[in-house]
Amino acid sequence: MTCSRFLLPILLSGSMLTACSDGDAPRPAGDTPVTDGSAATPTIDFRVDGQLRLFRDDEVLDTLAIEIADNDSSRGRGLMQREDLPEKSGMLFVFPDESERAFWMANTPLALDLLFIRADGIIHNIRRYVQPMSAENVTSDGPVMYVLELEAGQSDALGLVEGDSMAWERREESVSASSSP
C-alpha cells in the first residue's frame, strides 16, 4: 500500500517528459539534475550542426549557425539549462510533418524568440520575448514543421516578420562552439 502511493506520481511524471509537443497538453518542470551541492549544473556547449539563411523575397537577411534538434530526445531537451547562445546562432527544431506545435520554457533560463515555420520555409508566426523558466504553452497557431529558437530580441534586430522565409542545411560533421565570447 505504501509502495503504490509513491509509485503513481513516479509513473505519471515519467509519462510527460518533453519540452515541446505536437499538441497543447501541459508539461512538467522536470529534468532538473539532482546534485549533492558539490557540483555545479553542467554547461551544455552550443553545437554547430548546420546553417540557416533568412530571406525576404530573394534578399538574404542573415545567415545563422544552428544546432539541429531532429529527434525526440534533442527536441525534448531543446535549450534547457543553456545560459547563453553564441552571436548569430539558434536552435532549429525539425519535425517529421506539419502539425500544431506547443513549446514551453521550463528549465530554460534564456528569454527566447520562437519562430514557427511551415514546411515550405515560410515563417507562420513569431513569438517574441518568451518568458524564461515558464511552464506556459507557447503555440504555433497553425500547422508548422520547423521551430527556430533565437535569443530574445534577435527577430526584432534582424527585422523578421511573418511571411519571411528560411532555408537550412546540415553540416557533414557537427562541431562544438563555445557560447561565451
Q: Which residue carries 530574445 as its cell?
A: 152
Q: Is the pLDDT reported for residue 87 higher than 80?
A: yes
Per DSSP, 158 falls in state T
- Residue ranges of the domains in the chain? 45-171
Q: Is the pLDDT reported for residue 179 higher than 50?
A: no
Question: What is the DSSP pairing of strand 123-130 with strand 59-69?
Answer: unpaired
Contact predicate 137/23, CB 8 Å? no
Q: Is the pLDDT reported for residue 73 higher than 70?
A: yes
Which pLDDT band, with edges at 50, 70 and 90, does 43 fall under?
confident
Contact predicate 64/51, CB 8 Å? yes
pLDDT of residue 81: 86
User: What percent of the chain is predicted at pLDDT more than 90?
Assistant: 64
Average pLDDT for residues 143-169, to the nearest whole number?
A: 97
Q: Which CATH superfamily is domain 45-171 in?
A: Protein of unknown function DUF192 (2.60.120.1140)
pLDDT of residue 95: 97
DSSP characters for 94-125? Answer: EEEEEEEEEE--TT--S-EEEEEE-TTSBEEE
Question: What is the DSSP pairing of strand 59-69 with strand 89-103?
Answer: parallel
Query: What mean pLDDT, rounded, does the chain reach?
Result: 80
The per-residue pLDDT for range 97-144, each reduced to its tens digit, is 999 999 999 899 999 999 999 999 999 999 999 999 999 999 999 999
Write out the H or E segment, with its range, that includes residue 59.
strand 59-69
pTM here is 0.75
* Of residues 91 and 37, more confidently modeled: 91
Question: What is the DSSP pairing of strand 20-21 with strand 46-56?
Answer: unpaired
